[in-house]
Each structure stands twice: as C-alpha cells, then as structure tokens.
Amino acid sequence: MTGLRWQLADEPRPQQTLFDEPIFERQPGRGEFRGLEFLHVRAQRIINEVKGAPFGFRYTVNPYRGCTHACTYCFARPTHTYLDLDADRDFERRIVVKVNAVSRLRAELDPRRWRGDLIAMGTNTDPYQRAEGKYRLTRGIVEVLTERANPFSILTKSTLVLRDLDLLVEAARRTTVRVNLSIGTLDEDLWRATEPGTPHPRRRVRAIEQLNEAGVPCGVLVAPVLPGLSDAPAQLEAVVEACVAAGARSISTVLLHLRPGVDAVFLDRLAATHPHLVDDYRRRYRGRAYLPAAEQRAHEALVRDLARRHGVRAAERTDAEHMTGRPVPAPRVRDPRRRPPVHPERAGAPAQEDATQLSLL
C-alpha cells in the first residue's frame, strides 16, 4: 500500500490528498444505527472525474464510503482496504461520511469553473444507504444540484429515495434527472442471503411506480444476476415483468463479477448459505473477475428479449440514455491544427475515479 487515505488521531502521519484534515472523528451508532461506526472526514474535493467510463457520464459524487446494504458481492468492498479497513465486516459497519460534501459541492459548482456537466450518484456505494437517514448528505447534494439546474442521475437499491420525491420532482422540472433502481431478484431467500441490508425487492418495484407516476424517470438494472441462483429464465422474467408493470422506462442487466478482494468475501458467505455452489463458482470464474464473454452475451440477450417481449426499452448497461436520461451527443471532429481547449474546471480539478470502481454497474 502506497499510503493511507486518512490517519488516526493517535497515529499522526504525513498529510494525504483526499481529505483536508489528518484526523477523523469516530461516532458510534445509536438507536437504529447501533452496531455501526461513522467515521467523519472532510473531503478536499467531492466531484470525481471518471476516466474511460462508457456509461454516459464523466463526473460522479459519492458522499459515503462503505455501505450498510452489506451486499455480499459489492465490488466497492476493496476500496475500504485503501483506508486500512477490511473489505468484509468493516465495509458494512464502519461507514466513512464526508461531512462537508454539500458545502464542497456548492463551491465546486461555481459557474466560473463548472460548465454544468451531468453528475452521477451511486457509482461506488449507495447514496441512499442507512447512513443517509442520519446525515441527509444526498438530499443536500440533490438540493444544490436542483438550485443550479445541474443534470444528475442516481443509482440505488434503496426506497429511501422516496423521502426526497418532492425534491426530485422539482429537479426533474428544471433539468435532466434519471433514477435507476437495482433489482437483481425477487426471491426472498436469496435477497436475505445476499443483500441483507437492502429494502425488500418488491418495495423497490413499488418505488419505480411512485417515481415514474410523480414525473421522475426511473429505469431498472437487473443486477447483479448471480449464476446458479438468480439467472434462470423464469426468475429473470419475473423481475422484468414486475418492473415493466411498475412503469420502468428501460431495463438493462449484468452478470455478477468477482474482483480480487470481493471474491473471498462472496465465496465465504456463499459457503454459509449455498455450500453446494462454491466449487461451481470456483470452476466457472477460475480466478477471473468475469464469466466468459459468450456467457455474458447470452445472458444479456435473454434479458433484452424479455424486456422487448414485455414492451419496454431494452438497454445495454453502457447505454447513455438508460443511465443518465439523455443520449450522449455525437463527438466533435477536432481540427488537428488546433490545440484542444483547457477544461474550465481545471483550476479546481475534480479528483479522478477509476471506471472499474463503479460498483453497481
């Protein structure tokens, strides 16, 4: 490890770049948050620039690190190891809170430096996880984006997004807004085993209906689909059918991928709930993050066909309109004799976020 992203108060080290202060405040969870620990930090920057992401957006905001949804397969888990925390239980119980996220965003959206690019939320950990009920940072971020009429998208597994329905409706009147719900299965036993901290998938289906009825465009990512657990055609059709009935604007899908650091956690949890599948997963993934391309293509084709048969737009997960609510404009043809312009926000350049860290995508 080349360096910590922050330091303990009793263990001073050289100043790092991600947070303003070399210490953070620890706050134990109480009441409904009992068993959690919140780690308060001050971010130097809140807007991250994504290099090479094919999802139709270039900038992201993530007010939290770690996630109480505790999805066994979440590929944001290894980001906790950058912070000297573990990717297993620490990721679910020790939540990093960027307490100055709203004020930083307001400063970084200064029109003298920012040109109004779409901002995506939910690309790392869920902006509407349980911590949001305590800190309300996502609501504050949406308020700032709404005030500035700055387009944005939200990807979430949480029905807490409905708390902000009034604000999202107002935002949709002013600018481009897109919400996508992630629903990989309707199976209750599998949901409890793999996504124990998330709202019931049927509640998420109902949220799709409420958002679209209110005028906030909402689609669905049937993701991740777990081989041997939620990938049977009948299971997938049940998800698609329910989401289409709820008014989903578009549907895409992705099979489970297991990056290093995630695979150990996932397989350990799988051994406790579905031990007969562990060897099959080891054989099929063979230490790779992805299943063979042919299996991925066959799965995506199946879900696309189901979506079309049920009368909704079938989308690739990289489809810009599906992810952001608006198509990506055609690239400009540059005159090779002209030097490219300097991006206006370079004076306060956003942090960079690797496209491979977009956890729910």
Distances (CA, A) of 329 to 56, 159, 180, 320: 10, 32, 21, 10
Q: Pick the residue with more confidence: 348 or 268?
A: 268
Q: What angle do CA 65, 68, 70 make, to 5 degrees?
A: 105
pLDDT(36) > 80: yes
**What SS3 class is residue 175?**
coil
Query: DSSP readout, 176-208?
Result: -EEEEEE-----HHHHHHH-TTSPPHHHHHHHH
Class of domain 179-256+291-326: alpha beta
Averaged pLDDT for residues 284-293:
93
d(CA 39, CA 282): 35
For all residues of the chain together, what is the average pLDDT? 86
Q: Residues 174-206: pLDDT tens digits?
A: 999 999 999 999 999 999 999 999 999 999 999
Q: Residues 225-239: pLDDT tens digits?
A: 999 999 999 999 999
Weakest-pLDDT range from 17-26, 100-109, 224-233: 17-26
Backbone phi and psi for residue 359, each to the nearest 5 degrees, phi listed first: -65, -40
Contacts from 294-303 at CB under 8 Å and sequence distance 24+? 295/227, 295/255, 296/255, 299/225, 299/231, 299/253, 299/255, 300/253, 300/254, 302/233, 302/236, 303/222, 303/236, 303/240, 303/251, 303/252, 303/253
pLDDT(344) > 50: no
Averaged pLDDT for residues 112-123:
93
- Say what the pLDDT of residue 227 is: 97
- Say what the pLDDT of residue 17 is: 43
Averaged pLDDT for residues 313-317:
84
- Say what the pLDDT of residue 228 is: 97
pLDDT(332) > 90: no
Spans of all domains in the chain: 13-175, 179-256+291-326
d(CA 164, CA 235): 31
The most confident of the ranges 3-17, 24-38, 335-349 is: 24-38
Distances (CA, A) of 226 to 10, 112, 165, 184, 240: 43, 46, 31, 8, 16
pLDDT band at 26; cut points 50, 70, 90: confident
92 contacts: CB under 8 Å, gap ≥ 6: 66, 67, 68, 69, 70, 197
